[in-house]
Amino acid sequence: MRTANNSATLMDNIFIDNRRHYTIKPYINGLSDHDAQLIILKKFLLPFSNIEPSYIRNINKNTIAEFQLQLSWEQWDNILGNNNVNDMFNNFLNT
The predicted pLDDT at position 10 comes to 62
What are the sequence ranges of the domains in the chain?
A: 2-42, 61-94
- pLDDT tens column, 6-21: 776 666 676 777 777 8
pLDDT at 55 over 80: yes
Cβ atoms of 61 and 67 within 8 Å: the answer is no
Write out the H or E segment, with its range, that includes residue 26: strand 21-27
The CA distance from 95 to 89, in Å, is 10
- pTM equals 0.35
Which residues partner with 2 through β-bridges? 9, 34
Q: Which residues contact 9 (CB under 8 A, 6 or more apart)?
A: 1, 2
pLDDT band at 69 (very low <50, low <70, confident <90, very high): very high
